[in-house]
Every structure is written in structure tokens, then in C-alpha cells.
Amino acid sequence: MTPPPDALARMLEQPFAAIADLIALHAASRADHPALLLDAGSMTFGELHARMDRVAAALQRDGVRPRDVVAISGANSIDYAVVFLGALRAGAAVAPIPQSTAPDALAAMVADSGATHVFADPAVATAVAPHRGRFTARLVGLDPADGPASLDDWLAAAPVQPRKVTVAGDWPFNVIYSSGTTGTPKGIVQSHAMRWTHVRRGASYGYGTDAVTLISTPLHSNTTLVSFLPALGLGGTVVLMAKFDAARYLEIAERRRVTHAMLVPVQYQRLLAHPAFDRHDLRAFRMKFSTSAPFPAALKAEVLARWPGGLIELYGMTEGGGTCMLVCHERPDKLHTVGQPVPEHDIRVIDEQGRELPRGEVGEIVGRSAGMMTGYHGKPEATSAAEWRDAEGRRYIRTGDLGHFDDDGFVVLLDRRKDMIISGGFNVYPSDLEAIVRSHPAVHEVAVVGVPSTQWGETPVAFVVPAKDATLDRDALRAWANERLGKLQRLADVRIVADLPRSHIGKVLKRELRARYASGSA
């Protein structure tokens, strides 16, 4: 039965609906419209809906109940997306685990999640095999060539109708293992209601049935899901890249007439630096997004100048809490900020004692919204430590970031609280030092960390990646920077490195830089 023309609009008016039901709606009304593309492969909404049914029915056949957890680990693929969405149709929560995780840690995450099944691509399946005894989940291969445990062999036979599951908004949607920059993985439980809010607001960013969204960040990342789910849920086409490559990205964006993208700052940097960037026709772009890592003001300005379409920076955490948004193309005068709190999100700034601070004073940023995590999976003490409550007892999520509100109510980020350097009793913010060093014409990238000092307690050290074909003398660069820095900010050392260690989503891992310096390997 074909749904009425306004069925999608009516569904989006509801306080809550399941994303899997949106896919069913598109399959009924636009079965032949492409939903997923990857290289030479494609899947229409009709095909996606049918294969999701086969995944859901197979999970139910295996005894998976609503709110159980299913794990997935592998590179971006159409089958990865199908299993994710099919598990949701069965009412299960998904634990998408980074495939780049060390095998023993990956096995530990699967065990911690309590997953009944783990779907793995060939590389992950091979890597985790020696650690198979650490978890009880059934292992299913995502690649059809995996043998008797392959996805095609495991799926329920077509056609099939899984048992209908009525999903509630407070049910867990996913358990994301986000080690961030601390190195301690914690399963962040997010609800269906949170993801529904992302889909509903997607229409205001131009997502829709005629949109084409290019996904080049991994599907296990919250960064990706913030774009992937509205793009698909609102009936558009999602083009997947198994691995980011600047040249291929630009070719795909032009050929597919891509309208939307979510990229982390280092990807913008690499794309704009590609020698063929300005030769590609990117005029189809409506909106580009960025999140997950600091986005330098100069880089935002360059994106605005050279790349058609709007640019929005989103600041928030996988744990949820408050989100800030900077609509860069509307406020080019505020590129040094991360924007203002989005509607119905409450952002505060608190001091070390948990007291709220007035506008202009620096403290830790905390946030509250309907998009807060339920908690860390199986870790009530860690959940409690991540929370702050106001005088009325309302719950906020602590970000660990230091910043302040400017006179116009825009949030200015300084640094991670744990990365702030206390030198001689004074607070030194690495971002201030990085901005100065980055302005040197021979510097491509820089990260500043604090290292122990017998004289000052801590002192700043800069790790610098030279610009292409540039030659840098560390002592000369240190002298140049210190001439421009305040007395309390001066660099104790500069180390020239080939690259900076990053997480899977592009965050600089400053803990690794501190460890390198301490060991003398930097």
C-alpha cells in the first residue's frame, strides 16, 4: 500500500518515531530510489527495507530480544549499514566498535557491551580470533566470502516478516565506545529519542528526498551518525567511502552532485590542500558540517572562501548534554567561537567547586538537553562523575572543556581541562600558543602539551609538523614564537615531527605526545 504524499511530514510532526519505520515508509513510496551507494555497489530503499527485515528476523530467530545489544566492527560498507538498521528494527541496540581498535581491546568492548552477536569484516574477524574466548557473542562475517559464518548464510531466508517491535523513545539506540583522548573506553548509551531529534531537525539543514550525502568518516562514530541518520531517514541517498582519500572524495563529490557532508577539521585541511581542489565543481553542495575536534578560525574562513554552500560547526560530546552551533556563513565575525547553544539546549560554565560562573569568566562547560546519554554502560560511578547538578537538582553533562561566553552569548573554547598547563601557578592555555605557532608560514600543524618542570611545575612544549617542502629549525622557531608569546607562555622546547598522533575521528592524542616526550622518543 502506497502511503499518502504527506506521510513523511506527518511522521516528522510526531514527538517520536523509530528510524527503522522511516525506512519502511520510503520503501513503500519510493522503492527504486537509491538509498546506499559504495563504489560499484548500490541498494535501493526497497532492497534496504527487505534486507533489514531479514536481519531483524534472523536476530529474533537467534533469541535476540528488544533492548539486547548487537556489536558491529568493520570498515564502512553497505552491509554494515544494513545490519545496523536491521538490528534497530528488531529493537536491539547497536554497539559500533572501531575496527582500528587493538584486538584485545576490541574483544573487551564486545564483552563489556554484553552483545549477543558481533558482525565483523574479514580483517576484524581475523584479528579478534585469538581473543575469541573473551566474549560469548556469536561471530558473523560481513563479507559473503567469509565461509559458513558469513552474513548471507546467517540471514533469514527471503521473503520474511519479522515480528513487529514497537520501539520506545527511552530504549537504547546505540552503545558507542568513545575513548576520546583519555584512552579509557566507556560505552556511551544513547536513546532512540535522541536520534529522532537529529532526524527531525535535519530538514532545516536541507536534508531531504533529493539530497545526496557523502559519508567519509567511520560508521562507528557519533560524528558520522549525526549526518548518516538524518540523510537516510529523510529519504536521501547516502554515498559511503570505505576509507577517506582526498582525491577520491573530490571526484565522488563532483560526479555524484553531493549536497551534504560531515567532515572533521583535518579532512577539510587535507581537501583544501589538494592541488586539484579548485578544479572540481562542488556547486551542488548545500551544507557542510564539522565537529569532533578544534576547527581553527583561519581554516573555517578558507572553507567559506573556496567551497560553495553553507558551513556549520557543531560543538558537543558523544555523551550529549548541550550542543552549540556556529552557522559560519552567517556569522563570519564569530569564527573564533563554536557558536551559541542550539534551541532547548542549556549551556553553563562552572568553576572547580561546581559553582556557576557569570558571562566572561573561564570555567568548565556543562550542558543539558534532551540528547543526554542515559549513562556509561555498566559504569554508574563514571556516569555520576560526568554529571553536574544545578541548584534545582537538574542534571547536566560535564564536557571537560574550558571556555567562556563572550558578550554576545557565543561560546569561546580554550582547551580541554586536563590539557591546561599550570606553569608557576598560572593557567596557560595550549590553544593560545598553538595559534601563534600555527601562524608561522613554515608550520603546517602544531600541538602544545605541558611537561613536568622542576622550576615551574609544568612548562609548554610544541610538537610541529612542517609545511610541505619547508625546512624548520626547532631553535629558531622556538625563538620566533617566544618573541610573540607572553612571558608566562614561552615554549620550553620545540620538537619537529612528521605527523601528529590522532584518534580515528581526527582528534590529536596529546597523551601520546606527553608520553613520547617523557620517554625521549619524540
Stated as kind and residue range, the H or E segment containing 187 is strand 187-191
Helix H segments across 92-175?
A: 103-113, 122-128, 151-154
- Rounded to 10 deg, the angle between the 19-29 and 45-61 helix axes is 140
Q: Please give the model's pTM, rounded to 2 decimal places.
A: 0.85
Cis link prior to 130 (omega < 30° from 0)? no
Q: Which of 414, 509, 515, 421 is nearest to 459 (CA)?
A: 421
Q: Residue 435 and residue 399: Cα distance in Å, rounded?
A: 22
In contact, 447 and 500? CB cutoff 8 Å: yes
Name the stretches of the chain with pLDDT < 50: 146-148, 180-182
Please tell me what DSSP assigns to residue 392: T
pLDDT digits (tens, 9 = 90+) for 339-364: 999 998 999 999 989 999 999 999 99
**Maximum separation of any 2 CA atoms in the chain, in Å:** 76
CB atoms under 10 Å from CB of 326, counted, come to 24
Please tell me what DSSP assigns to residue 317: -
Strands in 264-309 per DSSP E: 287-290
In contact, 284 and 276? CB cutoff 8 Å: no
Q: Enter the C-alpha cell of residue 156.
A: 533469514
Question: What homologous superfamily is domain 345-417 in, according to CATH?
Answer: Luciferase; Domain 3 (2.30.38.10)
Instruction: Locate the domains of the chain by residue range.
Output: 17-192, 345-417, 420-519
Q: Reduced to 3 states, what is the DSSP secondary structure of residue 70?
A: strand
Q: Residue 12 and residue 209: Cα distance in Å, rounded?
A: 14
User: Tell me, what's the pLDDT at 148?
Assistant: 47
b/e map of 258-275 (b: 16 or more CB within 10 Å)? bbbbbbbbbbbbebbeee
CB atoms under 10 Å from CB of 112, counted, come to 21
Q: Which of 201, 423, 402 is nearest to 294 (CA)?
A: 402
pLDDT digits (tens, 9 = 90+) for 171-205: 999 999 865 444 557 899 999 999 999 999 999 99
Which CATH number describes the domain made up of 17-192?
3.40.50.980
Q: Which residue has the cell 564569530?
A: 334
Q: Residue 147 and residue 131: Cα distance in Å, rounded?
A: 20
Helix H segments across 369-438?
A: 380-385, 430-438
Instruction: Tell me how far CA of residue 49 lies from CA of 28, 67, 119, 441, in angstroms.
Output: 9, 21, 19, 52
Helix H segments across 122-206?
A: 122-128, 151-154, 192-202
Strands in 241-285 per DSSP E: 260-263
Q: Which of 11, 39, 13 is nearest to 26 (CA)?
A: 11
User: Tell me, what's the pLDDT at 450?
Assistant: 92
User: Tell me, what's the pLDDT at 195?
Assistant: 94
Question: What homologous superfamily is domain 420-519 in, according to CATH?
Answer: ANL, C-terminal domain (3.30.300.30)
